Homo-oligomer: A and B are copies of this chain.
Amino acid sequence: MKQSFRALALLAAVFMLQASQAHPTQTRGEEEVDYRQSLYTVMAGNFHPLGAMAEGKMPFNAAEAKLRAERVAFLVPMLKEAFPADSNGVGHTAAKPEIWKDKDGFSKALQLLIDKSAALAVAANTGDADKVKAAVQETGKACKNCHDKFKVKDKD
């Protein structure tokens, strides 16, 4: 009993620490925007070296490409839950209201990115630089397709 209480107290302390990652006065919508933007930052940070390899700005490294592509393919489907309705128009978001108005269109654009990033991971698994480059370009097009329709231009 005593041990169970101690464990719960510890867990509560951990959540307080966890919560302190986010701004203490954040609303639910602001937290959701923060989570979404963080997810994009982590995705972009891992897509970036793939793009640099595809553009020849970084030497091709099969192991690095595989690692990065697997991360991108793992992270992208998490976007499905990253646009809850109450994050629409909250704070410094670049997400257009069209995301929630045209749910089918947005789902389709997101699914295209999910499919292309899954194909990117498959390509990276072959270790073939040309296949990776082509798959990076396809993934990049799927990013751009969604940004063109659903992201405010020139906004973080």
A38's partner among B37, B51, B155 (CB-CB below 8 A) is B37
**Which B residues touch A12, using CB under 8 A?**
55
- A1-20 contact mask (Cβ, 8 Å, vs B): 1 or 0: 00000011011111101101
Q: Are B147 and A17 in contact (CB under 8 A)?
A: yes
Asked if A125 lies at the interface with its beta carbon under 8 angstroms from chain B, I say no
Interface centre among A7, A40, A147, A154 (most CB of B within 10 A): A7
Asked if A47 lies at the interface with its beta carbon under 8 angstroms from chain B, I say yes
Asked if A78 lies at the interface with its beta carbon under 8 angstroms from chain B, I say yes
A48's partner among B18, B48, B71 (CB-CB below 8 A) is B18
Q: Are A11 and B147 in contact (CB under 8 A)?
A: no
- A28-58 contact mask (Cβ, 8 Å, vs B): 1 or 0: 0000001101111110110110010011000
Shortest beta-carbon contacts, A-B, top 6:
A38-B38, A38-B41, A14-B140, A35-B45, A18-B44, A21-B44
> Interface on A for B, CB 8 Å cutoff?
7-8, 10-15, 17-18, 20-23, 34-35, 37-42, 44-45, 47-48, 51, 54-55, 71, 74, 78, 136-137, 140-141, 143-144, 147, 151, 154-156
Given A35-B45, A42-B42, 8 additional A-B pairs, CB 8 A:
A7-B137, A11-B54, A12-B55, A15-B55, A18-B47, A37-B38, A39-B42, A42-B78
